[in-house]
Amino acid sequence: MPVVLLGLSHRTAPPEVRDRHTVPAQRIAEALRALSEYSAVRESVIVSTCNRLEIYADVDTYELGIAQLKEFLTTYRAMRVEDFDKYLYTMLGGEAVQQLYRVAAGLDSMLVGEPQIVNQVKEALRIANEAATIGPHLGRLFRTALQTGKRARTETGIGRDVVSLGAAAVELASTHCDLRATHCVVVGAGKMGTAAAKHLHASGAASITIVNRTLRKAQALAKQIGAQALPLSSLPQLLERSQLVISAVGSGQFLITAAMLTARANAHLKLLLIDIGVPRDIEPAAAALGAGTVVYTLEDLREVVARSLEARRAEIPKVEAIIEEQVEDYLRWYRSRSVAPMIASLRDKAEEIRSGEIRRLFARLPELDRRQREMVIAASLTIINKLLHEPVTKLRATVAEAALADDMQLALEVLDLDAFSDRLQRQLDAHTAPLLGTRKDG
């Protein structure tokens, strides 16, 4: 089974090496076309993210295929030879299949169960389709990988619970207040601020205001979730009437100071502040104010995330069972593909016998009109398909269940082509004999 994988990831290479070898999204199609020029590479897909570069290929032979993938990396990606020895891993056959399924299921991610990788695998498949470098083997492999990822997240808890800081902030807030009756402010419209705002919206927060230096960006996020957008300068006024503030900017300066909180006219109104900015957005002195002001920091949230990750890790055995099942299904299908030439030979032989028999039949029955001849031809095709069904099914099943390599030899042992031809000739003769009104010998 010549499916191979050559790659590096956060498990084998430090960030600077991964950064050096990442293929930008806009250049993946170009890279795939360059890779398709290598003689041993029949199909290829590149999965390139900030944490991994993995090349999946269907090749003529393992040895030549791996050699050409490495040559591609040294020329197209200018990979250093020492990087091969230190950071690259090679997987062959079923091991490569299993790795892709593990990636799609989120088991090979830095954050176990993270959902973004499924979209990244889907994007890799889309680009390979557009570049025309994917065929039946990798096409099915990547489609079933996406199916594996979906099963892992719907049939197990690997994708449940809170693992992003934005989501963790909302979960922490929900333990302190009823979000459906809480007026919330999200400071920052970047990745973490967006996550926090969307989780607040999903939790049914009474109202949400997005505050950001760039008002346009705040407005774009607010539009998505039906929130209000205001400039950063409005933050002091918002502190007067809000009950929850989640800050996720990390600009390097304190956006919310102890003085701002001390000056609040509505000091009796309880205020929960959650700081997920790196560096911090809320002045540390604010935590000592008391009087209804509660401040949580990144370290507090990490405890929430750690508990969630522990729950996810407990789901890994269930996901592994799904992956094992999916790998077996794919390998069974792949092995059955090896009998395609044998099946084609059977069909060719059957067609040769059928057409010869029909010619002889028409020669003996010249009085048949066009409609009658079409009916005879249609009947003969039906007979052939019925006669072929059992041996073809047997071939596919036998090879699909075989664990070892020479499938074509196994197929030859399962079915003797000459004996099959003789049997087919006799059966077809028996079916066509009534049309002649006589019984044929032999």
- Indicate if 388 and 426 belong to the same structural domain: yes
- Indicate if 151 and 20 belong to the same structural domain: yes
- Indicate if 141 and 171 belong to the same structural domain: no
Residues whose CB falls within 8 Å of the CB of residue 34, separated by 6 or more in sequence, listed in order:
72, 76
**Is 177 one of the catalytic residues?**
no
**Between residues 244 and 402, the one the model is more confident about:** 244
The pairing of strands 244-247 and 271-275 is parallel
Distance CA 57, CA 137 (A): 9
- Indicate if 20 and 151 belong to the same structural domain: yes
Among 301, 318, 346, residue at a domain's last position: 301
Tokens of 332: 């069974």
Residues whose CB falls within 8 Å of the CB of residue 416, separated by 6 or more in sequence, listed in order:
none
User: HSE on the CB side for 273, CA within 13 Å?
Assistant: 31
Distance CA 320, CA 107 (A): 9
Q: Do the beta carbons of residue 376 and residue 363 sit within 8 Å? A: no
Q: How confident is the model at residue 155 (pLDDT cuts 50, 70, 90)?
A: very high
- Indicate if 8 and 142 belong to the same structural domain: yes
Q: Do the beta carbons of residue 429 and residue 436 sit within 8 Å? A: no
Distance CA 284, CA 162 (A): 26
Q: What percentage of residues in the chain have a pLDDT greater than 90? A: 47
Q: Could you tell me the residue range of the domain that residue 9 belongs to?
A: 3-160
Average pLDDT, the chain: 85
Lowest mean pLDDT across 183-187, 272-276, 278-282: 278-282
pLDDT at 304 over 50: yes
- Indicate if 147 and 23 belong to the same structural domain: yes
pLDDT at 25 over 90: no
Q: What is the pLDDT of residue 417?
A: 55
- Indicate if 112 and 198 belong to the same structural domain: no
Q: Which of 11, 19, 39, 50 is catalytic?
A: 50
pLDDT at 152 over 80: yes
Among 126, 160, 194, residue at a domain's last position: 160
**Between residues 139 and 74, the one the model is more confident about:** 139
CATH number of 178's domain? 3.40.50.720
Whether omega for the bond prior to residue 24 falls within 30 degrees of 0, making it cis, is: no
Count of domains forming the chain: 3
- Indicate if 9 and 149 belong to the same structural domain: yes
Is 272 a member of any domain?
yes
Distance CA 149, CA 379 (A): 46
Q: Do the beta carbons of residue 256 and residue 282 sit within 8 Å? A: yes
Q: What is the pLDDT of residue 424?
A: 66
Is 325 a member of any domain?
no
